[in-house]
Amino acid sequence: MTTLFNATLQLAQALGVVRVSTATGGDATSILDTKRTEADDTFNGGTAFIITDAGGASAAPEGEFARVSDFANTGGDITISTLTAAVALGDTYAVAGGRYPLDVLISAINNEIIKHKIPRYDTTSLDIVAGQSEYDLPVGITGANLRGVYESTSTDSNDNQWTPLSFSVQEAATGTQHVLVIESRSVGTGNDIMLEYLSRLSPLYLATDVIDDIVPMARILPAAAAQCEVIRMRTFDSGDPLDIEMLKFYRDEARQAKLENPIRLPAKRGKVNEAQ
C-alpha cells in the first residue's frame, strides 16, 4: 500500500533533495536535531517527513509530512506546520529544502495519478427485471467507459458465478443517463448485474490517502520528477543548463518506466450506439 506520504517522500528522494536523520527531541511544531550542521534557513520552505516513531508502535506522527517554515542552526531547530503528535527523541525523520516545496511534490504526483484509468465494478445499482432489456446506467458510467456487463447466476454471495452478457449502450444527450441494452437472454429475474467500467484516479491531498496498487510507483515517480523540474523552471524562468539536463533525464526515465510497467486494462465487450 502506497500512501501520498510514501509517494512524496520517494519523489523527494528521487530528486536528490532528502536528508535523513534521527531527532534528538521536538514537539508538534518542531524537530530538534543537535547533529545538524547546515546554515540557518537551509530548509526554509521545504518539507519534513516523520518516517518512524521511536516507540515502534507506528504511532503518530509517523507517516505525516509538514511544511518547514524555519531552520535555526543553534539546536538544530526545524520549525514545521503542526503535526497530530509530538516529535520525540529517536524518531527517524527526513527533511528536504525549498527547491521543491511540498505543494509542488503533491501537484506533480497528482498530475501523473489522474492520467490513469483503473477498472471498477458496480454490483449494486442494477438487477435483472422480468421482461426488461433496457436499463438506465448509473451516473458516471457511459458507453465510453463501460467495459463489461455480467449477471450473477448463483445466490451464493461468495460464488456469484458472473456470466458475461452481450450488450450495447445507447448514448443519450449530455447530462442524461445512458441506456444499457442487454442483448443476450438472462438467467433469472432479480439476479444482480455487475458493471465493469473504467474510472480515472482522483487526486490525493492527505498524507494517509492511498494510491491504487494498479498504478506502479515505478511508473509514477520519474514522470512526477519531470513535472517538478518543469514547475521549478517555469516558476524561476530558469534556463540553467543543469535544470534542462535533469528535465531531459527524468523524461527519458519516465518513457522507459512506462515501457517496463504497462497497465493492462480489460477489453471492451460491448458496443456503443450513439444518440441520433
pLDDT in tens, 45-61: 999 999 998 777 778 89
End-of-domain residue from the set 45, 65, 98: 98
Residue 110 inside a domain? The answer is no
The owner of cell 518516517 is: 51
Residue 113 inside a domain? The answer is no
Residue 253 inside a domain? The answer is no
Which residues in the chain come in under a pLDDT of 50? 274-276
Residue 276 inside a domain? The answer is no
Residues 127, 93: one domain?
A: no
- Measured CA to CA, the distance from residue 35 to residue 199 in angstroms comes to 48
What pLDDT was estimated at residue 272?
Answer: 59
The range of the structural domain enclosing residue 175 comes to: 118-200
Which class for 243: exposed (0-12), middle (13-18), buried (19 or more C-beta within 10 A)?
middle
Cell (9 digits) for 88 = 520525540
- Measured CA to CA, the distance from residue 2 to residue 227 in angstroms comes to 20
Residues 73, 136: one domain?
A: no
Residue 263 inside a domain? The answer is no
End-of-domain residue from the set 66, 98, 130: 98
Residues 6+ apart with CB under 8 A from 23: 31, 32, 33, 87, 88, 89, 90, 91, 92, 93
What pLDDT was estimated at residue 189?
Answer: 86
Residues 125, 92: one domain?
A: no
SS3 content of the chain, % helix, strand, coil (to 5): 25, 30, 45
Residue 168 inside a domain? The answer is yes
215: three-class secondary structure by DSSP = coil
End-of-domain residue from the set 200, 215, 242: 200
Number of domains in the chain: 2
What pLDDT was estimated at residue 157?
Answer: 81
